[in-house]
Chain A
Amino acid sequence: MLAMFFWAFVVGGLICVIGQLLFDVAKLTPAHTLSLFVVIGAILDGVGLYEPFIDFAGAGATIPITSFGNSLVHGALQEAEQHGLIGVLTGMFEVTSSGISAAIVFGFIGALLFKPKG
């Protein structure tokens, strides 16, 4: 268990370092960098590498935004296995709903409760 905490910290930290290098050296905007990360997550799950990555690094793989790409592909593939090609469209948000729905729901709540502080 302790080992998992260690790897979560290190792997998560390293993914962020790659992001920081894209910000500072490649001069990409956050939007470009994060979009790239999501796409990479999707591709990695497509070739079957993201799940073992999660087994190894735990939250170090599920917390960075790359995991969105992974869960979108996962959901799509699960449905496609059962229902064929159309499953690619119908299954996508089944697994990922928590991150995006949470953001939308809490975003709205935030807008009702909070004022920006500048």
Chain B
Amino acid sequence: MLIGKQSWVFQNKPVILETGVTGGPFESNGALPEDFDLLYDDLWMAQDSYEKAHRLLMEKAVEIVLQKGNIQKEDIQFFLAGDLTNQITPTSFAARTNAIPYFGLYGACSTSMEGLALASFIVNYKGAHQVLTGASSHNAAAERQFRYPTEYGGQKPPTAQWTITGAGVALVARSEGLTGQFPYAVSATIGKVIDMGLKDPFNMGGAMAPAAVDTILAHFEDTGLTPDDYDLIVTGDLGEVGRETAYDLLQQQGCLMDKEKFQDCGLLIFKPDQPVLAGGSGAGCSAVVLYGHLLNEMKKGKYQKILVVATGALLSPLSVQQKDSIPCIAHAVAIEYGTVC
């Protein structure tokens, strides 16, 4: 159901029944390795190119979901996913492998929540019984497309971020007949494109912060809730710069909360001593952290209600060369853990 200007509330509690999370070498040395189902120790993953490895990450994540949930591909109605690579080819090739009717999505690093919001909507209104949704990214594939060849000796400034290598996929299903406790989607707020004129592709956090803030404020406006209604408000990949800026902006707009409550997946996924500059980023970042670590924490009882705000920078190498600024977007999904029937 539509509430307010740009949000949905899901009365039928679409459940996140199973998840599959894959990652690469940096992630296996990071802060959350136990929350991954499968970790690769090199970026090639025995494939012929980084893009093919990227495809494998997504295919494996889907496989893991099906295995864990003991489900067949034929029982899934739709696959909604995307990545950062041109024309989202890794995801499309993975969709070819799993042969599930496919919605290819591009929201840069906000793709995960774009997918979860749509998947929850479809399941909530019985447009499907079971839907797979996810997002992925691959560090080297992103570097060679957006920035420089990986062996190039370019110097990145401290505001730059490190694209994570990983895929996070979730199975969203109808809650009818389910006993026990599950994480389920409560509501979602769809973001608008926000552009504050920032042009530096090595400072995406600074560019994305206003989009995160706009969506968060819209969420509270539409739902009538406040930060106190959530145990955690976590952004996708604002990184150090974006998180500080967004927190400052939220305070200014009267949206007050403890800094501890306002976290960022890009900062959670890596250890402070890893050379990741301002933090992790990538379409896979929010997906792997949410579908792995955060849901595990919810199952352990640490959080009962969280708001996940995935943020995306909608630039391309060409738009930067043409001196355009960086338009950004953020999508939010509220997830609660409890009984669904």
Contact = CB atoms under 8 A, between A and B. Distances in A.
A30 B150 CA distance: 15
Interface string B112-143: 00000000000000000000000000011001
A118 B140 CA distance: 6
A30 B149 contact: no
Interface residues of A, number: 8
Contacts of B43: 118
Interface string A54-88: 00000000000000000000000000000000000
B154 A116 contact: no
Nearest to A23: B155
Interface in B146-172: 149-151, 154-155, 157
B258 to A, nearest CB: 35
B163 to A, nearest CB: 11
Contact of A115 (B44, B143, B155, B200): B44
A27 B43 CA distance: 31
Kindly name the residue among A24, A27, A30, A118 whose own CB sees the greatest number of chain B CB atoms within 10 A.
Answer: A118
Contact of A118 (B150, B155, B157): B150
A116 B155 contact: no
A95 B44 CA distance: 41
A30 B50 CA distance: 25
Interface in B23-44: 42-44
Nearest to B157: A24
Nearest to B42: A118
Contacts, number: 18
Contacts of B154: 30
Nearest to B144: A116
A65 to B, nearest CB: 13
Question: How would you classify the secondary structure of chain B's contact residues: helix, strand, loop or mixed?
Answer: loop
Contacts of A24: 157
Interface in A1-33: 23-24, 27, 30
B139 A116 contact: no
Contacts of B50: 118
Nearest to B152: A30
Nearest to A115: B44
A118 B147 CA distance: 13
A27 B159 CA distance: 13
A117 B157 CA distance: 21
Nearest to B165: A118
A117 B151 CA distance: 7
Interface string A91-118: 0000000000000000000000001111
A30 B140 CA distance: 20
Nearest to B26: A118
Contacts of A118: 42-43, 50, 139-140, 143, 150
Nearest to A110: B151
Kindly name the residue among B50, B139, B143, B151 whose own CB sees the greatest number of chain A CB atoms within 10 A.
Answer: B151
Contacts of A115: 44
Contacts of B149: 116
Nearest to B321: A29
Kindly name the residue among A24, A115, A116 whose own CB sees the greatest number of chain B CB atoms within 10 A.
Answer: A116
A66 B25 CA distance: 39
Contacts of A23: 155
Interface of A: 23-24, 27, 30, 115-118
16 contacts: A23-B155, A24-B157, A27-B200, A30-B154, A115-B44, A116-B140, A116-B150, A117-B150, A117-B151, A118-B42, A118-B43, A118-B50, A118-B139, A118-B140, A118-B143, A118-B150
Question: Which 6 pairs, one residue from A and one from B, show the smallest C-beta to C-beta distance?
Answer: A118-B43, A118-B140, A116-B150, A118-B150, A116-B151, A30-B154
Given A116-B149, A116-B151, A118-B50, 7 more contacts: A27-B200, A116-B140, A116-B150, A118-B43, A118-B140, A118-B143, A118-B150
